[in-house]
Structure 1
Amino acid sequence: MDFNAVEETDALRLTWNLWPNSKIEATRCVIPFAAIYTPNKRLPNMPVVPYEPVPCKQCGGVLNPYASVDYYAKVWVCPFCYCRNHFPAHYQGISEQSVPAELYPQYTTIEYTLPRASPLHPPVYLFVIDTCVAEDELAAAKASVTQALQMMPDYCHVGLITYGTHVHVHELGFAECSKCFVFRGSKEYTSQQVTEQLGLRASAPGARPGAAPGAAPTGPQRQFVLPLSDPACDTAINNILSDLQRDAYPVVSTQRPARCTGTALIVAEALLAASVPAGSCMARVMLFVGGPSTEGPGKVVFGFGPDETAFVRMILYRVPVQDAMVMIQPQLTAYNFSSEDPSGISAEPALLDVLSITPERVLLLDAYFYVVLFHGATVAQWRRAEYHLQPEHKAFAELLAAPQQEAKAIVARRFPVPRVVDCDQNGSQARFLLAKLNPSATYNNSAAVSSEVIMTDDVSLQVFTDHLKRLAVQS
């Protein structure tokens, strides 16, 4: 079986491609069972069927090629819970010669086109404005919001939240005067607490029978998110923006203003969840922020640069699982001369250990944010002697070119672009690789098979494991 082809078809990768047949065999597997699944991976030949899936009545599993089917009794057995299910009425014509698409052996991944059960809701925009800024910056933010409201269609729904030391949720449907609900910025709220304090239900109700498509919700939800066509909404927003001032909470001269961006976003998310039917429309939070969060959830962690911390967190939240695994566990690849490979060059994974360094090999370390090309001592000497420029040493030129091509491929497909470090053994830049390796050979414990030692007092993984075993036995 071509496992790479299976991964391209189903967007699924497993740590083990063979499943154990008994519990004893499962306990002998050193590497735990795990899977990496990419739900939104773009597949070139994705089959799409124009009907709903057939679920299992007990576990909710969907009819698939691995289910046992009794065509005579029109019954299928769920492969997950072994529950017997009857086919729906429109499946009564199936037979061994006429089967639905989800039972084709090659259709292990399939998409369904579901009919929309509820009417579409107009798009919702929730403006969240930071007031811990200078007067000119606040004026520019208010002008931008006003311009955006003028360019939006009348059927769009809008809401308004302002925050500084505290969070203010403005009630646009209260015509008598400006009214808002205040949340303490230093406290972390749950969605249920926010909806209860605002007087909202946990989730917005579905469409009423006979209601027009895109009808506005009724009840308390109607007070915070209103359509622009409502005169009360336009008047309330204009009055709030014209009277909006900087955060009046006093600020100590040696500290930054208390800006509770995290709490404001939590409140905004809870408000949207309670005001808009789930899956019925596009809803977006428009955040106008003038600085780092200094109060409540998401407060900037000191000891690290705020920009660096925010950048790394943003990248970690957005990368797929494979790239996140590279951040946690860097990948090390060793390039050697090989008589077995037709190209004469072999590339194989190597352990993150100092023992992986040998004079005749080239190492490629992928640590996500930087890529290290490490040349052994012998390879570095041959390169300085320009052996790779001589026709009789074509294999050596290919050995140097192979990791260079892989590094260029990594740089081309990754954003942000990683830093490339080209170094030699015993060189100053070699520290980028040595910092990631297990110090199994140090200055006071040199291994016979190692061509490199790490000047550190840290214990190796083997010493730590042996000590842990000894403590476990003693206890």
Structure 2
Amino acid sequence: MSTYQEFIQQNEDCDGIRCSWNLWPSSRLEATRLVVPVSCLYTPLKERPDLPPVQYEPVLCSRANCKAVLNPLCQVDFRAKIWACNFCFQRNSFPPSYAGISEVNQPAELMPQFSTIEYIVQRGPPNPLIFLYVVDTCQEEEDLQALKESLQMSLSLLPPNALVGLITFGRMIQIHELSCEGMAKSFVFRGTKELMPKQIQEMLGLMKPATSGQQGKPLAPHDAAASCRFLQPVQAVDMNLTDLLGELQRDPWPVPQGKRPLRSTGIALSIAIGLLEGTFPNTGARVMLFTGGPPTQGPGMVVGDELKTPIRSWHDIQKDNAHHLKKATKYYEALANRAAVNGHSIDIYACALDQTGLLEMKCLSNLTGGHIVMGDSFNTSLFKQTFQRVFSKDYNGEFRMAFGGTLEVKTSRELKVSGAIGPCVSLNTKGPCVSDNEMGVGGTCQWKICSLTPATTLALYFEVVNQHNAPVPQGGRGAIQFVTQYQHSNTQRRIRVTTIARNWADAQSQIQHIESSFDQEASTVLMARLGVFKAESEEGPDVLRWLDRQLIRLFMFHLRRSPFLQVFNNSPDESSYYRHHFVRQDLTQSLIMIQPILYSYSFYGPPEPVLLDSSSILPDRILLMDTFFQLVIYHGETIAQWRKSGYQEMAEYENFKQLLQAPLDDAQEILQTRFPMPRYIDTEYGGSQARFLLSKVNPSQTHNNLYAWGQESGAPILTDDVSLQVFMDHLKKLAVSSSA
């Protein structure tokens, strides 16, 4: 390895790991001085076409409170057929099936290139994939029609043996029976009455009827599943369900003038979760909620039905004037936890011009690994293409989605795990490697991740517990093992194991080495995740003060202005949406979210990346800005005038036509692969949508310094926000003042 850069890249490609530090300080005291904790970004299911899974079970350490998996870092005595665990140093015998091993005939898990390895576990019957559609019918005709078409399309993308179910809701909730030929039959529930899971299961025939003096007993999951008329294989009900979706009507209840439709989202979700709990506990399942507005009645209600009462804003929340907020959030958190226990994930597809209650409902997806997709209408390509990408397939023709995952982290004795940030919930598993110092979701060494994709990335934080006066021996290495168990989309149970090690370094004598091992990109994302996690649970100003204290030591100007921490100009739902995606995307996408990428197109050479600064906005340039959520093509003043005059249509200005086309082609490439699909904005100098670009660039030229002598040319930004230069000057003052 010639450079750290190559080492970092190789580790990311091979193991899906990026560490904040690639040399670890050997004592607790030195680690706390580093500002950025020992931490890493881990992508458990990173796609590796060169990593075929092995068809046997992993070999585990025999010590009861260790159970680490055999890996290339273990010491092996091939003659005695014994291996020493590199976490607890227990000596273990190899199982009989390893009798033929030798130094020249090693199993894959001992080879250095298999620091990440995947096992197929042949236990128990295969479980089907389950997709339960929960559809809001209180929508405009055009929107509902577009949604029905998308749902019909999705049926053709599901595997024939996948189970599918349909619940529709407005004022009432209907669970549709799919097994009856020729006639539509459904169970109807009131949208205002909370039902216990047992009651739902009794009413749906998922429990043995109660006999005198005895309560009804749940059917065994196998019987319940067999007798469940509401979840059926796609191949059996494809025609039926397609017709049923085609015939769906808008909610029939009249909506008086000045009122919102009555939407019983809370009870619809409660019934969906109760149905899956009773039939398929601990099985891969997705509840897919499609909603066109906020819940307006029953438990989980976010706003009343009076249109004159607007849905809560950040201002209302700060003034404690959001009447339904706490109760609704508590209700949806209880539902999310019930789904998470059984490994069921909940997606929210919310398409409306106003808010739909994502702030209250976000925990449904955040805790279960589900998707959140937000748009203006179900009739836009943004929704249609994003929804289609949920069912995208990998190089083996299998879904890029996994279910019911658990992640366990094991560490060598000098380290403890402080917590994780990502789409996961704690399994409250205590152990010798659990730190008392919590960061993110802590107090455990195991987390449940109900749904994963190859891009799902978790941030994990560690604490060095080695004392300053007990040095680690020279050449010692700290190790971490990640064990992810999950249900593959082809219904196999799989275990993926990644084992990494980094050298310990004495910060007194080797500080330069530690500095050169610093991964700036990974650290930026890891600290930003901590900031976003705090922003979800603490007051806004407190989080910014925490961030400013970190900024003096660690520089992240654009994060401070990002929509993850600044709620100004964003609705509560939008903030929830941005934060949801930020805490699950991989490193590259996260960096784009923190500091958008800006490309410049001109006649003076090929496209080039330019500073995210107002000085880059020039009259004779076209800019392409990628913020992850938006793709903005901005035409400078001169270019916009030429375009209006139609120069691109004239044969002698072929080069201008090519210049206009270049950013469109580049944007198209991004639009075709990203999930969720970004909003595409084509604008120009003076255009109303130019605000998307102007709000992101550093305002180095504003109305306050517009006529300053010697300024670079560029577009002035009308803002009172401080520029990077002013921000830096203040930081310098703070950094050298005694109070800092």
TM-score range, shorter chain: 0.5 to 0.7
What is the CA deviation profile of residues 315-369 of structure 1, one whole-angstrom value per residue up to 9, with x for unaligned ones? 6678843575256323345889xxxxxxx9996785x555788999997642231
- Provide the residue aligned with 2:201 in structure 1: 198
Pairing of 1:80-99 with structure 2 (within 5 A): 80=87, 84-99=91-106
Asked if 1:321 is matched to 2:586, the reply is yes
- Provide the residue aligned with 1:101 in structure 2: 108
TM-score, with length taken from structure 1: 0.58
Amino acid at match of 1:311: G
Q: Is this contact kept in 1: 2:600–2:622, CA < 8 A?
A: yes
- Aligned residue among 267, 282, 286 for 1:278: 282
> Helix, strand or coil: the match of 2:262?
coil
What is the rounded CA distance, in whole Å, between the counterparts of 1:433 and 1:59 in structure 2? Answer: 52
How far 1:100 sits from its partner (Å)?
0.9
- Aligned residue among 595, 618, 624 for 1:330: 595
What is the rounded CA distance, in whole Å, between the counterparts of 1:133 and 1:357 in structure 2? Answer: 41
Aligned-residue RMSD, C-alpha: 6.2
Asked if 1:13 is matched to 2:77, the reply is no
Q: Is this contact kept in 1: 2:24–2:38, CA < 8 A?
A: no
Amino acid at match of 1:198: Q
> Helix, strand or coil: the match of 1:411?
helix
From the superposition, tell whether residues 180 and 468 of structure 1 become closer, same or farther in structure 2 (CA, over 3 Å).
farther
> Helix, strand or coil: the match of 2:696?
coil
Q: Is this contact kept in 2: 1:69–1:75, CA < 8 A?
A: yes
How far 1:180 sits from its partner (Å)?
5.7
Asked if 1:412 is matched to 2:677, the reply is no
What is the CA deviation profile of residues 96-145 of structure 1, one whole-angstrom value per residue up to 9, with x for unaligned ones? 33221011111222222221x2224567675656565799x99xx99xx9
From the superposition, tell whether residues 247 and 354 of structure 1 become closer, same or farther in structure 2 (CA, over 3 Å).
closer
- Provide the residue aligned with 2:352 in structure 1: 306
- Aligned residue among 259, 262, 269 for 2:263: 259
Amino acid at match of 2:594: Q
Asked if 1:370 is matched to 2:377, the reply is no
> Helix, strand or coil: the match of 1:110?
strand
How far 1:423 sits from its partner (Å)?
6.7
> Helix, strand or coil: the match of 2:112?
coil
What is the rounded CA distance, in whole Å, between the counterparts of 1:127 and 1:364 in structure 2? Answer: 37
- Provide the residue aligned with 1:435 in structure 2: 695
- By relative contact order (CA 8 Å, sep 6+), the higher-ranking structure is 2
What is the CA deviation profile of residues 172-194 of structure 1, one whole-angstrom value per residue up to 9, with x for unaligned ones? 99xxxx9968464597x9xxx53
Q: Is this contact kept in 2: 1:159–1:224, CA < 8 A?
A: no
Larger radius of gyration: 1
Residue ranges of structure 2 left out of the alignment (5+ in a row):
180-184, 208-218, 234-240, 304-310, 314-349, 356-373, 377-381, 387-576, 639-654
How far 1:299 sits from its partner (Å)?
5.8
Pairing of 1:2-401 with structure 2 (within 5 A): 2=6, 3-23=8-28, 26-29=31-34, 34-56=39-61, 57-72=64-79, 74-80=81-87, 84-115=91-122, 117-120=123-126, 126=132, 128=134, 132=138, 161-167=167-173, 182=189, 184=191, 194=197, 198=201, 217=221, 224-225=228-229, 251-261=255-265, 263-279=267-283, 291-295=292-296, 297=300, 306-307=352-353, 310-311=374-375, 320-322=585-587, 325=590, 328-332=593-597, 350=611, 352=612, 365-368=625-628, 369-371=630-632
How far 1:51 sits from its partner (Å)?
0.9
What is the rounded CA distance, in whole Å, between the counterparts of 1:22 and 1:185 in structure 2? Answer: 58
TM-score, with length taken from structure 2: 0.41
Q: Is this contact kept in 2: 1:371–1:407, CA < 8 A?
A: no
From the superposition, tell whether residues 226 and 302 of structure 1 become closer, same or farther in structure 2 (CA, over 3 Å).
closer
What is the rounded CA distance, in whole Å, between the counterparts of 1:67 and 1:223 in structure 2? Answer: 50
What is the rounded CA distance, in whole Å, between the counterparts of 2:691 and 2:138 in structure 1? Answer: 43
> Helix, strand or coil: the match of 2:590?
helix
What is the rounded CA distance, in whole Å, between the counterparts of 2:90 and 2:613 in structure 1? Answer: 50
How far 1:435 sits from its partner (Å)?
1.8
Amino acid at match of 2:263: R
Q: Is this contact kept in 2: 1:168–1:183, CA < 8 A?
A: no
Q: Is this contact kept in 1: 2:224–2:278, CA < 8 A?
A: no
Q: Is this contact kept in 1: 2:176–2:230, CA < 8 A?
A: no
How far 1:67 sits from its partner (Å)?
3.0
What is the rounded CA distance, in whole Å, between the counterparts of 1:353 and 1:418 in structure 2? Answer: 22
How far 1:297 sits from its partner (Å)?
4.8
> Helix, strand or coil: the match of 1:111?
strand
What is the CA deviation profile of residues 48-87 of structure 1, one whole-angstrom value per residue up to 9, with x for unaligned ones? 3221122345345432223333445544444455555443
Q: Is this contact kept in 2: 1:334–1:363, CA < 8 A?
A: yes
Amino acid at match of 1:91: Y
From the superposition, tell whether residues 348 and 127 of structure 1 become closer, same or farther in structure 2 (CA, over 3 Å).
closer
- Provide the residue aligned with 2:433 in structure 1: none
How far 1:445 sits from its partner (Å)?
5.7
What is the rounded CA distance, in whole Å, between the counterparts of 1:169 and 1:4 in structure 2? Answer: 50
Amino acid at match of 1:111: E
Amino acid at match of 2:282: A
What is the rounded CA distance, in whole Å, between the counterparts of 2:599 and 2:102 in structure 1? Answer: 54
Residue ranges of structure 1 left out of the alignment (5+ in a row):
205-214, 230-236, 337-343, 378-396
From the superposition, tell whether residues 302 and 349 of structure 1 become closer, same or farther in structure 2 (CA, over 3 Å).
same
Higher strand proportion? 2
Q: Is this contact kept in 1: 2:72–2:115, CA < 8 A?
A: yes
From the superposition, tell whether residues 404 and 17 of structure 1 become closer, same or farther in structure 2 (CA, over 3 Å).
farther
What is the rounded CA distance, in whole Å, between the counterparts of 1:15 and 1:345 in structure 2? Answer: 34
Q: Is this contact kept in 2: 1:128–1:264, CA < 8 A?
A: yes
Q: Is this contact kept in 2: 1:364–1:373, CA < 8 A?
A: yes
- Provide the residue aligned with 2:645 in structure 1: none
> Helix, strand or coil: the match of 1:113?
strand
What is the rounded CA distance, in whole Å, between the counterparts of 2:273 and 2:702 in structure 1? Answer: 52
- Provide the residue aligned with 2:212 in structure 1: none
What is the rounded CA distance, in whole Å, between the counterparts of 1:97 and 1:250 in structure 2? Answer: 77
What is the rounded CA distance, in whole Å, between the counterparts of 2:186 and 2:109 in structure 1? Answer: 55
> Helix, strand or coil: the match of 1:13?
strand
Q: Is this contact kept in 2: 1:334–1:361, CA < 8 A?
A: no
> Percent of pairs identical after alignment?
36
> Helix, strand or coil: the match of 1:48?
coil
From the superposition, tell whether residues 293 and 357 of structure 1 become closer, same or farther in structure 2 (CA, over 3 Å).
closer
How far 1:271 sits from its partner (Å)?
1.9
From the superposition, tell whether residues 421 and 284 of structure 1 become closer, same or farther in structure 2 (CA, over 3 Å).
closer
What is the rounded CA distance, in whole Å, between the counterparts of 2:616 and 2:44 in structure 1? Answer: 36
